Structures are given as C-alpha cells and as structure tokens.
Structure 1
Amino acid sequence: MCRNIKTLFNFEPPVTDDEIRAASLQFVRKVSGFNKPSKANEAAFLAAVDEIAAVSRKLLMSLETNAPPKNRAEDAARARARAAQRFAG
C-alpha cells in the first residue's frame, strides 16, 4: 500500500490538494489495515484522512529549500525505469 505514497515536496509544478489527499488516504489505509472501512468505521477513517491531509499541507507549505525544484516527468520516468528493472525477467 505505501508504495503509492510519493514525495510531495519541492516539485514543479507544486503539489496539489488531490495529491496530498491521495497520500493521506494511503497512509490511513496502511495504519488502519482497511482498504475500505466498514460503515461503522467510515466516519473515523475519513476524519483521519482529512486531518492528515491538513497537517501534511501545512508541513509542505512551511518547508524551505535552496535546491531547485524537481521535475515531475523526469522523476516519474526514473521510477518507471526502476520498476521495469526490478520486475524484468
């Protein structure tokens, strides 16, 4: 599950709210052990996703770096190449 959580800081274009929420959802899924919670746990599950997304957004907006922003397309291409090598033959 956690393989879907990507680094979100220092990219061009900047991180979107959808990307932050997706990472938060993956985190809550991993911690809770639920891919999709039952109706009894749904409210707590979704509240946790919202809270983690808000804290993550606050963190990302407060971080500073002197490094140039990373290119999303180049980063994705490197990840695909690593995956191809890992799963080859």
Structure 2
Amino acid sequence: MCRSIHTLHNFEPEATSEEVHAAALQYVRKIAGTTRPSKANQEAFDRAVAAVVAATQQLLDELVTTAPPKNREAEATKARERAVRSGRYAPAAS
C-alpha cells in the first residue's frame, strides 16, 4: 500500500481527525492515480475522501485489542532507525 499511510490503531494518544483525513486522502489519491483531480472530478474525489474518512473512523472506533497502546514517538524513532538501516535514508546530522 501507500507508504504515506500509517497505522492509526492502538496509539496513545488516539489518532486525530486530521490523521484519519490524511490517510483517507492518500488512499483516494492512490486509487484515483492523481494527487489533484480535475474540476470535473473534484466532487467525486471529495465524496470518496469523506466516505473513506467515515469508514476509517468507524473501524478505529470498533476495533478492540488487549495490547497496550503504542507510543507514537517511540514508534516513529523505530521507523526512522529501520529506514536508515535499510539504506533508504541517511542518518540525521547531529
């Protein structure tokens, strides 16, 4: 899937509406194959984003887990370290 879409479930604090919208927007962009729809397609694009936002929020609200919530900063640090080890990114300058 799209690398820009990140896991939103089981984090403390919970995913914000902005994060849910950003994930939905990336998903619709990927499916549509465009980052900016034409004027003729804008309404359909916006409706699709709204539908994905609603479905995503419903899913997040209904998911249950017994695992403790993950820490956002710790997970971001781990992801950066994996990216550096894989050679995709250079280490941050000190």
TM interval, short-chain normalised: over 0.9
Which runs of structure 2 are paired with 1:50-89 in the superposition (5 Å)?
50-86=50-86, 87=88
| TM value normalised by structure 2 | 0.89
Structure 1 position 84, deviation (Å): 1.4
Give unmatched runs, 5+ long, in structure 1.
none
Aligned residue pairs total 89
State the partner residue of 1:36: 36
Amino acid across the alignment from 2:6: K
Q: Deviations over 1:19-67 (max 9, x none)?
A: 0000000000011101111111111001100110011001100110000
Give unmatched runs, 5+ long, in structure 2.
none
Structure 1 position 72, deviation (Å): 0.2
Structure 1 position 14, deviation (Å): 0.5
Note the aligned Cα RMSD (angstroms): 1.4
Q: Partners of 1:2 and 1:25 in 2: how far apart?
A: 11
User: For the structure 1 residues 46 and 66, does the alpha-carbon distance in structure 2 shift closer, same or farther, using more than 3 Å as the test?
Assistant: same
| TM value normalised by structure 1 | 0.94
Amino acid across the alignment from 1:50: A
Identity of aligned residues (%): 51
Amino acid across the alignment from 2:64: E
State the partner residue of 1:11: 11
Q: Partners of 2:7 and 2:70 in 1: how far apart?
A: 11
